[in-house]
Amino acid sequence: LEAASKLLRVRGRVIPSSTEFIKLRAEMTDGTIVEGESNIPHSGKRIRHIYSDPALPKPEGAALRAIDEADV
């Protein structure tokens, strides 16, 4: 992430919220399930419910520290 941030000239720090593999899923109004962030808008269907798998991914310690230390 650091190398990509430098290449893209990102200001601030980019910290992943979790290091777990997280799948985004959507249940459409017709009951079908679409998996994958990029697949959901291409389904051409309306979303009834959207959720992640796992439902409660383990947070990354660096992200928790950054939030705790944030000056907001």
Per-residue pLDDT reduced to its tens digit, 17-61: 999 999 999 999 999 999 999 999 999 999 999 999 999 999 999
Q: What residues pair up with 53 in beta bridges, in sequence order? A: 23
Tokens of 42: 């291409």
- pLDDT at res. 68: 93
Strands 23-28 and 33-35: antiparallel
- pLDDT at res. 64: 94
Per-residue pLDDT reduced to its tens digit, 13-24: 788 899 999 999
Domain definitions of the chain by residue range? 18-56
For residue 69, pLDDT beyond 80:
yes
Reported confidence tier of residue 1, pLDDT bands at 50, 70, 90: low
Q: How far is CA 24 from the centre of its chain?
A: 8
